[in-house]
Amino acid sequence: MKMFLISDNVDTLTGMRLAGIEGTVVHELNEVRAALESALQRKDTAIILITEKLAGLIPDYIRHIKLNVRYPLIVEIPDRHGTNRPKDSITGYIKESIGLKI
C-alpha cells in the first residue's frame, strides 16, 4: 500500500518524493477538494497526507471523510514552515481525554 501527499508547496512534495511518496501541489479551495476526491479513488493508497494549511480550507469535508470513510487514513501534517497546532497540543488532548495533567 502507498501514501499520497496533497501539499501547498513544492518543497514538501520534493521531500516526500525522496521518500518514495507521490503527490500533488494545489493552492485553491476547489483544487484541494478535487485532489482529495481523486486520492480517495486510488485503490492502492492506504494513507493520504495533507498539509495543515490545506486541511484548514476544508475542515468539514475532512471531518466527514474521517468519520464515514474507513479507508484510506487521512493524516494532517505540518509543512516546511512548521505546525499551526499549539505547542502543547498532545498534552492538551491527554488532559481533555483522561483528566491528567502531564
Domain boundaries, the chain: 2-98
Q: How far apart are CA 58 and CA 99, in angstroms?
A: 30
pLDDT in tens, 48-58: 999 998 998 99
Fold of 2-98: Rossmann fold (3.40.50)
> Residues 21, 47: contact at Cβ < 8 Å?
no
Contacts of 87 (CB under 8 A, 6+ apart): none
> Residues 59, 74: contact at Cβ < 8 Å?
no
Q: How far apart are CA 53 and CA 80, in angstroms?
A: 11
pLDDT in tens, 49-87: 999 989 989 999 999 998 898 889 999 888 766 566 556
